[in-house]
């Protein structure tokens, strides 16, 4: 009897366990179904995100091509300052469109469109120069008491009026006369302190080239800034409405605020930067970045004139076109340590 009772108890226990297992089946199935639905939703969301990115790229590609064609057409047929100003305005819109696309464009596509934009900006500057009126040649008026006199050492047979033009000095390159009222700057200078005030460079294109051991201070709001072939220079510049370009520079210190910064073939240079888009380096080494710290009277007014968002600064968001590895930092640029950022600008 006792053995039969034990056997019956064991059977009841097994039945209870089986019933419990059966009761858990719906719970496991429900959990698996939830997991399956979550995975389906995750894949759906991923696919939707990809479609959104593709739509953004398609929209940008079409908009960029359309605006680029419009600017090229304006530049080709521009016969007046008004048409050039319209081309410049649309070019700024093209720059903004490109800035808004950096988050979803591949590095190669971004580089191609940046180069197209640089070519358009160069073509605009060239057309502006072509439309500048040529200076008229005129003889200087001589005083009546000198008209009848002959200058000592003058060559025989040369009238005094012509002689006065021959003796007049050539304009100095330090004055920044680049043949266009839209372009100003300095070139071929060494160990000098150079300045331009706001009234001289407002919304103009600034070109600085072949400078050595110079300090350049640009107070105001240029349209673009280009620094090429500079060595051992210090450049301080107010807010630039569009782009700053550096090329073939070394051992320089810069303080610049701009919409976009492009650096090419430059080494061992520190840049104190405010940029609303991002910086791009190519074929560079030893570039260090820190936040923009230069200040001067009227800088708030110049920022307002430039259209830059002063609260937005991507100074350490840098693209290196020579370094495509995403899991490792580029060796060609770095963040300047805080203890090395103290610098006397004046």
CB 238 within 8 A of CB 256: no
- H or E stretch including 196? strand 193-196
Adjacent-strand bridge partners of 244:
225, 261
Q: At residue 101, does pLDDT exceed 90?
A: no
* Average pLDDT of every residue of the chain: 77
312 backbone dihedrals φ, ψ, rounded to 5°: -110, 120
- The sheet that has 234-239: what strands, in order across it? 193-196, 215-218, 234-239, 253-258, 267-275, 285-291, 333-335
What pLDDT does residue 220 have? Answer: 94
Beta-carbon contacts of 101 under 8 Å, excluding residues fewer than 6 positions away, are 56, 60, 64, 110
Domain 17-131 in CATH: superfamily?
Tubulin Binding Cofactor C, N-terminal domain (1.20.58.1250)
183-190, strands of its sheet edge to edge:
183-190, 205-212, 224-231, 243-247, 260-264, 279-282, 318-320
Mean pLDDT of 205-213: 93
Which element (helix H / strand E) includes 30?
A: helix 2-77
**Domain coordinates of the chain in residue numbers?**
17-131, 185-340
**Pick from 195, 196, 236, 188: nearest CA to 212:** 188
Average pLDDT score over residue span 286-312: 93
Residue 213, Cβ density class (10 Å: 0-12 exposed, 13-18 middle, ≥19 buried): middle
Same fold, 17-131 and 185-340: no
Q: Which fold has domain 185-340?
A: Pectate Lyase C-like (2.160.20)
User: Of 263, 293, 189, 173, whose CA–CA distance to 233 is shortest?
Assistant: 189
Structure tokens of 85? 């100003």
CB of 51 closer than 8 Å to CB of 43: no
Residues 311-326 have pLDDT tens digits of: 899 999 998 988 877 7
> pTM of the prediction?
0.54
Higher pLDDT residue, 311 or 90? 311
How much is the pLDDT for 21? 58
Q: How confident is the model at residue 26 (pLDDT cuts 50, 70, 90)?
A: confident
Q: What is the pLDDT of residue 160?
A: 36
Which of 38-47's residues contact partners 24+ apart within 8 Å by CB, and which partners? Answer: none
Lowest-confidence pick of 129-133, 191-195, 261-265: 129-133
Can you give the pLDDT at residue 251? 97
| CA–CA distances in Å: residue 64 to residues 59, 83, 96, 341 | 8, 20, 10, 39
Q: Cα separation of 85 and 91, whole Å?
A: 10
> pLDDT (tens digit, 9 = 90+) per residue, 241-295?
988 999 999 999 999 999 999 999 999 999 999 999 889 999 999 999 999 999 9
**Does the pLDDT of residue 124 top 50, yes or no?**
yes
First to last CA, the chain: 109
Distances (CA, A) of 139 to 152, 165, 303, 336: 20, 7, 44, 57
For residue 105, pLDDT beyond 80 = no
């Amino acid at each position: 009897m006792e053995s039969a009772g034990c056997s019956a108890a064991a059977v009841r226990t097994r039945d209870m366990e089986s019933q419990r297992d059966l009761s858990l089946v719906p719970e496991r199935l429900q959990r698996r179904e939830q997991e399956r639905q979550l995975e389906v939703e995750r894949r759906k969301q991923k696919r939707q995100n990809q479609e959104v990115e593709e739509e953004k790229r398609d929209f940008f590609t079409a908009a960029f091509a359309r605006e680029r064609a419009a600017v090229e057409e304006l530049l080709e047929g521009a016969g007046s300052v008004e048409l050039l100003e319209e081309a410049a305005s649309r070019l700024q819109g093209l720059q903004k469109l490109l800035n808004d696309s950096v988050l979803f464009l591949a590095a190669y596509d971004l580089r191609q469109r940046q180069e197209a934009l640089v070519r358009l900006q160069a073509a605009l500057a060239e057309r502006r120069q072509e439309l500048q009126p040529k200076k008229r040649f005129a003889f200087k008026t001589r005083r009546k008491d000198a008209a009848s006199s002959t200058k000592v050492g003058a060559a025989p047979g040369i009238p005094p009026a012509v002689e006065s033009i021959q003796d007049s000095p050539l304009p100095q390159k330090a004055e920044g006369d680049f043949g266009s009222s839209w372009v100003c700057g300095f070139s071929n200078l060494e160990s000098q302190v150079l300045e331009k005030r706001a009234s001289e460079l407002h919304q103009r294109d600034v070109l600085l080239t072949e400078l050595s051991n110079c300090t350049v201070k640009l107070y105001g709001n240029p349209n673009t800034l280009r620094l090429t072939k500079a060595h051992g220079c210090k450049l301080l510049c107010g807010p630039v409405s569009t782009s700053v370009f550096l090329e073939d520079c070394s051992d320089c210190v810069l303080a610049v605020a701009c919409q976009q910064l492009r650096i090419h073939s430059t080494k061992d240079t520190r840049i104190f930067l405010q940029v609303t888009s991002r910086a791009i380096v190519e074929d560079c080494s030893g570039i260090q970045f820190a936040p923009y710290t230069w200040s001067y009277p009227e800088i708030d007014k110049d920022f307002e004139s430039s259209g830059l968002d002063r609260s937005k600064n991507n100074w350490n968001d840098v693209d290196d076109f020579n370094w495509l590895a995403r899991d490792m930092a580029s060796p060609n640029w770095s963040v300047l340590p805080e203890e090395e950022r103290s610098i006397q600008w004046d």
